[in-house]
Amino acid sequence: MRFVAAPITLLVSLIVGCTKPPPPRPEAPPAPVTVTAAAKKTVPVRLRTIGTVKALASVAVRPRVGGELTGVFFKEGDVVKKDQKLFTIDPRPYEAAVKQAEANRAKDVAVLAGAEFDLRRAAQAKSTGAGSPTEYDAAFTAVASAKAAIEADTAAVETAKVQLAYTTITSPLDGRVGELLVTQGNLVDANGVTPLVVINQVHPISVAFTLPEQQMPAVVEASAKWPLRVEADVRGGGPRAVGRLAFIDNAADPLTGTVQFKATFDNAADRLVPGLFVEVTLTLGDRPDSVVVPTAAIQSGQKGQYVYLVTADQKAEVRPVTVAFDDGGEAVIASGLGGGETVVVEGQLRLAPGVRVTTKGGAAPGAGAAATAKAKGATR
């Protein structure tokens, strides 16, 4: 058995010695990415939200006297001026009421004249001893009563004239009229439930919007320094309407944690219509020397937001960042970048720390390496 085992052992040794080691795995090709340089510039500090257009004033026009609606002096949608005539109500019953009140006053004026004549006669008789004090007192009372009746008649005449004036209905403000709710020929009641028309003041006009309560201190601080610019985008194309912040509410809504704001717009082009939803941009001021990168560069992970950088040796590096706010497709960085770093804006799905990359875009390979090292040290 010893002579058989030796050749077998020799054969196994020869087989093992002839086996080649496996070839090394080929290195993965560099991941293609699009890059740009983190810029440093002055950016406006803007807050964006959705707002609702509201009329600065709105009046539901109702008749103050009843009668037949005899005239309508505007077209639906017209822009009207204050005190412009809008409606007329049949004035004949009120004209008659004025004449009747004036006639009653004229009658009491005649009564007063007779009472004053009787008083003079009673006074003369009393002075000669021919008349009694009782007759004098009665004549004096009659004069006082006639004077009081005339005062009442004068008030009645003025009331009748006021009622007659109410038969012509004028606009209480400059604005745009809406739909005609009661047409000519209908009978209307004084202070009826249904208005004749609604007038909205649209020059100027207001936009109401809300912001989180955490942003209120910054808005209050900025508004104390200068008038704050507010832009409204009606989502229909064309230029944005530009106005000024006009109102900051004195309390936050405890249910939503938001604060109410209002801005005023001239609305010369009539692009803002009450009830319309608009995109609102409130500008608080300028932020100098801000580091900005495209919003597409910002990634989110379990530990927060980060970006991929390309180092000088063409490898991917993860850098945690804090975003202050977004500004029209650009993210303003509060911390994590110093400006000049080469940031990946496309192709992040194929990256991991240390992965080799091949770049294209607006930044040269390894651009900003010194700034990258400086910012990296600052974040430690």
Same domain, 188 and 150: no
Tens of pLDDT, residues 134-177: 888 888 899 999 999 999 999 999 999 999 999 999 999 999 99
Q: What 3-state DSSP class applies to 66?
A: coil
Same domain, 69 and 189: yes
Same domain, 82 and 100: no
Tens of pLDDT, residues 49-85: 999 999 999 999 999 999 999 999 999 999 999 999 9
The sign of the CA dihedral 100, 155, 71, 182 is negative
Same domain, 124 and 193: no
DSSP class of residue 84 equals: -
Tens of pLDDT, residues 197-238: 999 999 999 999 999 999 999 999 999 999 999 999 987 777
Q: How far is CA 31 from CA 188, 310, 357, 366, 368, in A?
A: 79, 11, 4, 15, 20
> Shortest CA distance to 188 belongs to which of 58, 61, 59?
61
Same domain, 343 and 305: yes
Q: Which residue has the higher pLDDT, 1 or 87?
A: 87
pLDDT band at 254 (very low <50, low <70, confident <90, very high): very high
pTM for the model stands at 0.68
Query: Does 47 have pLDDT greater than 70?
Result: yes
What does the alpha-carbon distance between residue 277 and residue 265 come to, in Å, rounded to a whole number? Answer: 15
- The percentage of the chain sitting over the pLDDT mark of 90, rounded to a whole number, equals 68
Same domain, 295 and 348: yes
Which element (helix H / strand E) includes 224?
A: none
Same domain, 297 and 375: yes
Which element (helix H / strand E) includes 191?
A: none
pLDDT band at 14 (very low <50, low <70, confident <90, very high): very low
Q: Which two tokens stand for residue 230?
A: 């507010």
pLDDT band at 18 (very low <50, low <70, confident <90, very high): low
Provide DSSP, 326-353: EETTEEEEEES--S--EEEEE-GGG--T
Number of independent structural domains in the chain: 4
The sign of the CA dihedral 266, 268, 272, 278 is negative
Cis peptide preceding 227, ω within 30 of 0: no
126: Cα separation from own chain's centroid: 81
Domain span at residue 297? 31-42+289-379
Is position 22 within any domain?
no
Is position 162 within any domain?
yes
Q: Which of 286, 311, 345 is where one domain is finished?
A: 286
Q: In DSSP terms, which residues pair with 323 in a beta bridge?
A: 333
Same domain, 85 and 95: no
Is position 10 within any domain?
no
Q: In DSSP terms, which residues pair with 79 in a beta bridge?
A: 176
Same domain, 104 and 232: no
Helix, strand, coil tally for the chain in percent (to 5): 30, 40, 30
What does the alpha-carbon distance between residue 14 and residue 269 come to, in Å, rounded to a whole number? Answer: 96
What does the alpha-carbon distance between residue 201 and residue 225 come to, in Å, rounded to a whole number? Answer: 30
What does the alpha-carbon distance between residue 279 and residue 290 come to, in Å, rounded to a whole number? Answer: 25
Is position 21 within any domain?
no
Helical residues (DSSP H) of the chain, grouped into ranges: 2-18, 92-128, 133-165, 216-223, 369-379
The rounded mean pLDDT for the chain is 87
Query: In which residue are the tokens 């192709």 written?
Result: 347
- The residues, any chain, with a CB within 8 Å of residue 349's CB and separated by 6 or more, are none
Query: In which residue are the tokens 């064309």 written?
Result: 238
Tens of pLDDT, residues 122-139: 888 777 777 677 888 888
Q: How many residues does the chain have?
A: 380
Query: Does 366 have pLDDT greater than 60?
Result: no
CA angle 53, 58, 64 (to 5 degrees): 165
> Residues 183, 191: contact at Cβ < 8 Å?
no
Is position 13 within any domain?
no
